[in-house]
Each structure stands twice: as C-alpha cells, then as structure tokens.
Amino acid sequence: MAKLLIGLGNIGKEYEKTVHNLGFIVVDNIADKLGVAIKKNVCNSFIGEANYKGEKIIIAKPTTYMNNSGIAVKSLVKKFDIDITKDLLIINDDIDLPRGVVRLREKGSAGTHNGLKSIVRELGTPEFARLKIGAGAPPSEFMDLADYVLSKIHFDKDIEVGIDKGETAGVMFLEGESYSNIMQKVN
C-alpha cells in the first residue's frame, strides 16, 4: 500500500505561479521539504517516490493539463493500487474560497473546478479527499474566469498562509494522520 498525493495544475513555463497551479506549488514545496525529487514521467504525470516514516509515498503532478487531470489520476490509482477513500489526496486551487483559506473534504462535488470534474468523471465517484487552497474570486465580476485562473498569483500574506497550511496538511496525510485530525489542524 502507498499514499498518493497529487497536486493539480498546468505544465509549462507560461503556467508557473498561476492561480490554477496552487496545487503544483504546494506539492513541490512538500517534495522539497521531504527531499523527494519529482522527475519520473509515469502515467501522464511527473512523480517522485520515497519511503517516508515507513510508508511508501508517491507525490505527483499530472502532465495532462487541468481539464484532463482525471486521466492521470485514474492511471496512477490503478498502477499503484491506491484505495481512493484512504490513500489519495488531491490538492487544488479553489476560487470559491477566500485567499489563503484551506478546506479538506473527504468527498464531495467538484463544484466549479474542471480538474476535479475530470477526476470525478474518470474515477466514477466523488469519494476521494481533496484539499482546496483558497485563491479568492476574480477581482472584478467582469473578468473572465479562465483569464483569472491562468493569471499570475499575487503572493501576499494570505496566499502564503494557504500554501503553508496546504504543506502542513499534505505532510500530515503522508504521515498517515486521519482526515479528521488534518481537518482540525488546517480547516
């Protein structure tokens, strides 16, 4: 058995440090903290594997782009025989949460997030945990949503707090903490 931590985002220089790449930013920070190199290209993802505190862990960043994240997630779950209700955590941005607010949910709808919609569609269920990092709504009701999520993040105190809480939650998950314990710490 292994723990699978997946950050959602879009690959490529033009997408680095964008709102939609908050999931990538958090898992990159976790990988750096734990000394895990995310380099191998497996199952439409860049992954890093390690043994951490006696547990096999896989940290992944899908290369399928956000709207097709489910293709990579489904492949990784199958390849590593992951129990999606206990050993999978998806980290993603969420424009419906205020900047820096973090919410862990054990299951639920995909809401407006196309990456989560793809995962639900490919796995055939919403019964997997997701950690949502609040990015806040577009600054103007007239701004196109796609333009906003693909715009560069303004790294203020709120976003930094959200990233830090995301890192804490991700490490706790990899250490085998229960979802309820993680929720008490970061929600």
Return phi, psi of residue 136, to 5°.
80, 160
State the Cα–Cα distance between residues 2 and 154, nearest whole angstrom: 35
Active site includes 20? yes
Residue of 20, 99, 113, 117 with catalytic role: 20
* 89 SS3 class: strand
Residues facing residue 59 across a β-bridge: 5, 48
What is the DSSP secondary structure assignment for residue 64, as one 8-state letter? S
Only one residue has tokens 């929600």, namely 187
Tally DSSP H helices, then E strands, for the chain. Answer: 6, 7
Residues designated as active site: 20
